[in-house]
Amino acid sequence: MLMNLPMNTGLAQSPEVNLLEKGVSLELAKNRAANIEKITYDLYFNIPENKAQPVEGRLQLQFDYRSKATPLILDFNNDFEKIHTVAVSGKAVYWRYENGHIIIPDTALRLKKNVVQISFEAGNQALNRNDEYLYTLFVPDRASTAFPCFDQPDLKAKYKLHLKIPETWVAVANGRMLEKRFWDGKHYYVFNETKPISTYLFGFVAGKFSTINTYRDGRSMTMYHRETDTAKVAANKKAIFDLHASALTWLEEYTDIPLPFEKFDFVLVPSFQFGGMEHVGAILYKSSSLMLDPLATQNQKLGRASLIAHETAHMWFGDLVTMKWFNDVWLKEVFANFMAAKIVNPNFPDINHQLRFLLAHHPAAYSEDRSGGAHPIQQKLENLKDAGTLYGRIIYQKAPVVMNQLEKIVGKQAFREGLQEYLKEFAYANATWDDLIAILETKSATNLSEWSEAWVKEAGMPNYRVYNTIENGKISALNIKQQVTTASGKFWQQKVLLTLVNDGKVQTIPIMLDGRVTSVKEAIGLKRQDFILINSDGTGYGYFGLDKDSRQYLIKNVHKVQDPVLRGSAWIAIYEEVLRRKIPFDVFMKMLMKAIPEENEPLNSQNLLGYLEEIYWRYYSAKDRLAIADKLEKLLWKIMDAAPGQSAKAAYFKTYLKIAQTEEAITRLKLIWDGDLLMNDMVLSENDYTQIACEIALRNSNLAEDILKKQLERIKNPDRRARLRFVMPALSSKQAERDQFFEMLKDEANRTHEPWVLQALAYLHHPLRAKESEKYLEESLALLEEIQQSGDIFFPKRWLVSVFNGHRSKSAVLIIKQFLEERPGYPYRLKNKILQAADPLFRAAGEELD
């Protein structure tokens, strides 16, 4: 899109264009993409040790102007005073600053090659400055808070980087280090020029880090970390490197493209906001996600492998080929998850991967898709400043299920060929979802555009019900009815597996659900079944309602279902029925208590323990909860005692710790914390002791202050000590201290360590404190818009989840509903987040939702 604008006079006078609105409007992005190309950023940052001192920077920006139709608009989302000088080809020019943009008139520029020099002070917002280190995190549009740039994903550029850092620090960036020299009492690093990458993938880390270097398959890899527990590092490093190496090998083979960037390092950051971030050549991880405790469950080990595979897959899907605009951000996430699921399998031959996929995706995706805040996978995005609000479980968990369906429809081999074509065609450039569908459509007989409309461009989940007619003890008709359509009246199309079980005999029938009613002719004449379940293999998606007979049978017998995937899928279907009040929660609790001791598949166990915790805290009143506490505690303790090995025990112990309420249980936990009660083959880590101390503090006001103080003294690692110190007031038994803590959170400066804030909020709003913390709800909601602007992308939803964590009352529902009613113009995507996070609370309080 090209626009004719008045010369020199600036753009503000031209009312029809929104080029200069705050952030990066879609219009500005399109305008720049049409006019600017061949971009190189040559950047220098001088990083002082003291985080209170500013980071000074210099930029030499080169680019080609295809057409001088508009003035040059650079993004610098900061203060005007932080721009020191602006020059073109070494000569100072007239420029102005408006709404976070530096505007240089086109008369100062020429067609083709231009060089702009700017010296500036970098904003701290995305530099994550700590006492001993800093790391950049520019996704989705935060690069422009640190330096002037074209902050949009489809203006890929080459980066040259120079860093001056304290002598005792090290630095790592996207490019290989070319040179490191001692200069002026500091270290001066020069990094190699990168391939073309998007602004959100540019990044660097500097600070006091330990490094471990290794070679795998002829490739050098360096891990940077701050873990002080040498035993922990020793126990984890081999696995961490191995997982990266096998992910790389797998991806090179699948894509038929060698790693598209020159090097591959990664940095383990304490309290990193996300699990990981796929910066080219220097992936950042949350340290605790990779450095696992000895008590790590099988699930955590899988989680680590998946995270590593996910970030590694991004080097191709996201970094090499990038979305044109952030409305398609889901595409890189779904590919990373989709590939991760494929990659992780060979590394865990003992794991049931089909079950793992089912449990890792469907429950989480349904949690948002069944709520009033459901939205399409692909959302509209008018301005990049709102890109953070696009992220969530619909992207991360629903989209991979949908992608699996796509692979099923197109066929595995054709799908892979399509992806290879897509990666080659758009390498070091950008593409949209429709570009991919266009490629795949050439390889498939199905109308993929139509399929994509319902699954990707419209909101919500399908809702099915089974109608099973029995005559003379035999099935005379079996129909599956799709109860709702998309907003535009379409039925979702999907291939699913229907399973009929009778006397332990399992029969499966593949069916295509594509209209209002699907009749299963193959079932006619079969004798009456014990139960019938749609989606027994977990490749389908939706609310698969049970018929009455099946429901009754499963309530009594679900734990006896032999196949672990079928059993896992049945539990998911049952839980959906509980949430819709088709099965009473106390009946469900009894089912769990019967099933948990019998469940021998760790993935299913973990899922059931999660249900138990949720139902216990969310559905039982305080009184009724106390009445079942003793029974539950004893049950869990017994299973834990009998469970073989550390990792199996850990899952039960963690649930025991979370639900413990009786005096006996609290005394037992205290003995464990004191070291007076040893648990068979279980070694507790510093983190476990901290967690025990926190849970005890919540339950016993006499012990609280002392145990937290002692735990603080016990912690050797400075990062973990700082975290507990921060969280402690939220655990205080004194209301005044908790009030003060909440007040403090209103100041943005106190919310910089987001994982700390979330942990503290969950304690502040613990079910045991719900009554006293209800008064924080409204103000916590009122802070949301500010939090979205100042915090990282997952923070708003997580903030809400932690705030709603312990609540189950009608009055809490009322506060949330009133908040939204009083604000009819409230930002649409933030409203969705509130409705998603509040859904469990609404349902527990008995709200009619669907």
Chain residues binding Zn ion by CB under 5 A are 333, 336
The tokens for 8 are: 């020199």
For residue 580, the minimal CB distance to Zn ion (Å) is 32
CA 348 and chain centroid, separation:
23
Cβ–Cβ < 8 Å for 224, 241: no
The Cβ-side half-sphere exposure at 279, using a 13 Å CA radius, reads 26
DSSP 314-341: HTTBTTTEEESSGGGHHHHHHHHHHHHH
The tokens for 370 are: 């069944």
3-state SS of 184-206? CCEEEEEECCCCCECHHHCCEEE
The residues with which 481 forms a beta bridge, in sequence order, are 465, 517
For residue 204, the minimal CB distance to Zn ion (Å) is 19
Q: Which is nearer to Zn ion, 306 or 691 (CB)?
A: 306
Q: Which is nearer to Zn ion, 323 or 834 (CB)?
A: 323
For residue 338, the minimal CB distance to Zn ion (Å) is 11
Q: Which is nearer to Zn ion, 336 or 724 (CB)?
A: 336
Centre a 10 Å sphere on the Cβ of residue 605 and count the other Cβ atoms it contains.
Answer: 24
Length of the chain in terms of residues written: 850
Q: Count of H helices and E strands in the chain?
A: 30, 28
Angle between helices 754-764 and 735-745 (to 10 degrees): 150
For residue 282, the minimal CB distance to Zn ion (Å) is 15
For residue 305, the minimal CB distance to Zn ion (Å) is 15
Q: Which is nearer to Zn ion, 343 or 480 (CB)?
A: 343
Select the residue whose beta carbon is closest to Zn ion and give its number. Answer: 336
Q: Which is nearer to Zn ion, 689 or 794 (CB)?
A: 794
For residue 371, the minimal CB distance to Zn ion (Å) is 23
Q: Which is nearer to Zn ion, 337 or 535 (CB)?
A: 337
Give φ, ψ of 316 to 5 degrees.
Answer: -95, -50
For residue 784, the minimal CB distance to Zn ion (Å) is 24
Q: Which is nearer to Zn ion, 27 or 278 (CB)?
A: 278
Report the candidate in 357, 342, 347 with the shortest Cα–Cα distance to residue 254: 342
Q: Which is nearer to Zn ion, 32 or 332 (CB)?
A: 332
Report the candidate in 713, 663, 664 with the shortest Cα–Cα distance to residue 690: 713
The residues with which 43 forms a beta bridge, in sequence order, are 59, 161
Would you put residue 72 in left (φ > 0), alpha (ψ -120 to 50) or beta?
A: beta
CB-count exposure of residue 28 (10 Å: 0-12, 13-18, 19+): buried
551/549 Cα distance (integer angstroms): 5
For residue 337, the minimal CB distance to Zn ion (Å) is 8
DSSP 123-138: -STTT-B-SSEEE---
The tokens for 553 are: 């049978």
Q: Which is nearer to Zn ion, 333 or 537 (CB)?
A: 333
For residue 223, the minimal CB distance to Zn ion (Å) is 19
Q: Which is nearer to Zn ion, 333 or 839 (CB)?
A: 333
Report the candidate in 215, 696, 555, 408 with the shortest Cα–Cα distance to residue 223: 215
For residue 131, the minimal CB distance to Zn ion (Å) is 29
Cβ–Cβ < 8 Å for 104, 93: yes
For residue 285, the minimal CB distance to Zn ion (Å) is 12
DSSP 141-165: TTHHHHS-B--STTS-EEEEEEEEE
For residue 277, the minimal CB distance to Zn ion (Å) is 8
Q: Which is nearer to Zn ion, 337 or 780 (CB)?
A: 337
DSSP 500-532: EEETTEEEEEEEEE-SSEEE-GGGTTPBPPSEE
Q: Which is nearer to Zn ion, 88 or 308 (CB)?
A: 308
332/396 Cα distance (integer angstroms): 10
Long-range contacts, stretch 606-609, CB < 8 angstroms, 24+ apart: 606/297, 606/299, 606/359, 606/651, 607/359, 607/363, 607/568, 607/571, 608/571, 609/651, 609/652, 609/654, 609/655
Q: Which is nearer to Zn ion, 333 or 547 (CB)?
A: 333
Q: Which is nearer to Zn ion, 307 or 513 (CB)?
A: 307
Cβ–Cβ < 8 Å for 777, 807: yes
Give how far Cα 482 sits from Cα of 405, 449, 606, Å.
18, 21, 31
Cβ–Cβ < 8 Å for 731, 704: yes
For residue 542, the minimal CB distance to Zn ion (Å) is 25
For residue 307, the minimal CB distance to Zn ion (Å) is 9
Amino acid letter, 734: K
Q: From the CA atom positions of the chain, what is the Rg in Å?
A: 28
Q: Which is nearer to Zn ion, 338 or 366 (CB)?
A: 338
Q: Which is nearer to Zn ion, 227 or 333 (CB)?
A: 333
285/268 Cα distance (integer angstroms): 5
For residue 272, the minimal CB distance to Zn ion (Å) is 13
For residue 314, the minimal CB distance to Zn ion (Å) is 6
For residue 1, the minimal CB distance to Zn ion (Å) is 30
Tell how strand 463-471 and strand 543-545 pair up: parallel
Q: Which is nearer to Zn ion, 333 or 386 (CB)?
A: 333
